[in-house]
Chains A and B, each alone.
Chain A
Amino acid sequence: MSTDEFDGGEFEESEFESEACAYTDYSSGEAHDEYPKTGEGATGTERKVWDALYEVEDPEMPVSIVDLGLIYGVEVVDDVARVEMTLTYTGCPARDMILNDVRCAALAAGVADAEVTLRYSPPWNVEMVTEDGKRDLREFGLSV
């Protein structure tokens, strides 16, 4: 498994305690001021990338990954899309699948290339799910 994503200070500064993912413990967290990021106000190609990401659903639940609050940022520079995102937990078995889906979605929005970077800071929690996401989760039979 590649550990490229774990390089850099952000990971060390995060509150995440272990880099191993043998066991992951879920605890509810607090809402963030800046999250979830939903692409509100995005224009041009960035808008198209956000729209494409809304079409990507979680492999387990019929909810957009944007509404789940997994996308932390979208930037398009020189026709290359850079997407920063997180996963609901570090040991997520669908990691590669989701990263590939996100990259393909960004490419389909019409950029020359797309880079997807994982971040675990701030750690995701259920408060990052948007109101639309909570509605979709309830329809799916999940109490949030």
Chain B
Amino acid sequence: MRFDPSTRGDGPETGVECPYCESTNTVRDHPKGPGLCRSMHYCEECEQPFEQFG
């Protein structure tokens, strides 16, 4: 058994720029999104979920 290293969740947990309102008042919901290079975030400012690429 080996764990999928892609679930390690490197990357910023807060402060990712929201693509809708450009606020950086954001938190990471989950380290992985629908693709291996995407993570799930939530914007506290405009209250929208979004993904980060890269």
The 0/1 profile, CB within 8 Å of A marked 1, for residues 30-52 of chain B is: 00001111100100000010111
Please pick, from A24, A125, A141, A144, the residue contacting B20 in the complex, using a CB distance under 8 A.
Answer: A141
Residue of chain B at shortest CB distance from A124: B37
Q: Is A138 an interface residue (CB 8 A)?
A: yes
Interface range on chain A: under 10, 10 to 19, 20 to 34, or 35 or more?
10 to 19
Known contacts A24-B6, A143-B52, A144-B54; A126/B37 CB under 8 A:
yes
Residue of chain A at shortest CB distance from B43: A143
Known contacts A24-B36, A88-B37, A89-B36; A142/B52 CB under 8 A:
yes
Residues of A within 8 A of B (CB): 23-28, 60, 88-89, 125-126, 137-144
Besides the known contacts A24-B36, A143-B41, 8 further A-B residue pairs in the complex with CB atoms under 8 A apart: A23-B4, A25-B6, A88-B37, A140-B19, A141-B20, A142-B51, A143-B52, A144-B53
Residues of B within 8 A of A (CB): 4-6, 10, 16-20, 34-38, 41, 48, 50-54
